[in-house]
Copies of this chain bind each other. A is one copy, B any other.
Amino acid sequence: MEITSVQNKLIKETTKLHQKKYRDQFGHFLVEGYHLYEEARTVGNVVQVFTTDHAIVGEDVIYVNEAVLQKLSDAKNPQGVVTVCQKVDAQEPSDQILLLDHIQDPGNLGTLLRSALAFGFTTIVLDNTVDVYNDKVLRSTQGAIFKLNFIHSSILEFMEKYNWILYYGTAMTGVPIQAFSTMPPFGIILGNEGAGVNEHILRKTTKNITIPMIQTESLNVGVAGSIIMYELQKKLS
């Protein structure tokens, strides 16, 4: 089977998955390129594959021409394959959790997910952040998306439900991260790029922590969160 018309109904429907509304409705999302196609295959949540490359084979593979691939792709130069994947249901939280409060920049979210996986924070709680399945987020996560457990929840409600977990907020006035240690299960809470972590949340944490700096500039939230995860993981190992 090969689709050669950008007017094809399946192509039109699939293209809608670039919009959050339809991703939520269908429970599917799109990833681009060979690397993410292979990652999706490994975890087994491939729904459908569209490709110009006949070396890719399988019952769920549909061949398309360049024009159709471009239509399906969000990239200027599509990398040969677009994969429709199934979202995975949330699991019970792991022992090291990253909680995100209103993170709005796709690049920052992508960076944090990639670092979370690198440092063993495999459960991510998302409270009003940019969509994890946004094209820009997916481009900057580099496959981490398939190895993390996502829980969409208000952070305060999550803290009430899992009240045996230790929660650490991040704030300029917190305890310096070096002078601090903990044991799992625990969660690190990062806040919005401009406003930081919500005051209501900071008041309910076990403790709030900060990263000491030479200059009183604020770090990018992706960097700050990554340094904290690195430091805590190091203390555990």
Give me the 10 closest cross-chain CB pairs, A-B, nearest first.
Answer: A120-B214, A118-B213, A223-B226, A117-B215, A227-B230, A111-B220, A118-B217, A115-B223, A117-B217, A118-B219
Interface size class of chain A, counting residues whose CB lies under 8 Å from the partner chain:
20 to 34
Question: Is B214 in contact with A119, judged by CB distance below 8 angstroms?
Answer: yes
Q: Does A192 interact with chain B (Cβ within 8 Å)?
A: no
Residues of A at the B interface (CB closer than 8 Å) are: 107, 111, 114-115, 117-120, 140, 142-144, 147, 178, 211-215, 217-220, 222-223, 226-227, 230, 233-234, 237
Q: Which of B144, B211, B230 contacts A211 (CB 8 A)?
A: B230
Please report the C-alpha to C-alpha distance between residue A234 and residue B179 in the assembled complex, in whole angstroms. Answer: 11
* Copies of this protein in the complex: 2
Q: Tell me whether A220 and B178 are in contact (CB under 8 A).
A: no
* A114–B211 alpha-carbon span in the complex (Å): 14
Q: How far is the CA of A227 from the CA of B227 in the complex (A)?
A: 6
A111, A118, A119, A227, most chain B CB atoms within 10 A:
A118
Please give, as numbers and ranges, the residues of chain B lying within 8 Å of A213 by CB-CB distance: 118-119
In angstroms, how far is the closest chain B Cβ from the Cβ of A75?
Answer: 15
Alpha-carbon separation in the docked complex, A224 to B231 (Å): 13
Q: What's the least CB distance linking A223 to chain B, in Å?
A: 4
A43 to B152: give the CA distance in the assembly, Å.
Answer: 45
CB distance from A219 to the nearest CB of B (A): 6
Tell me if B217 and A144 are in contact (CB < 8 A).
yes
Is there an interface contact between A220 and B114, defined as CB atoms closer than 8 Å?
yes
* Contact residues in B for A143 (Cβ distance below 8 Å): 217
Q: Which residues of B contact A107 (CB under 8 A)?
A: 107
- How far is B219's CA from A140's CA once the two chains are assembled, in angstroms? 10
**Shortest Cβ distance from residue A74 to the other chain B in the assembled complex, whole angstroms:** 18
Which residues from chain B contact A111 at a C-beta distance below 8 Å?
Answer: 220, 222-223
| Interface hub of A218, A230, A237 (most chain B Cβ within 10 A) | A230
Cα distance A212–B211 in the bound complex, in angstroms: 20
Q: In the complex, A119 Cα to B120 Cα: how many Å? A: 25
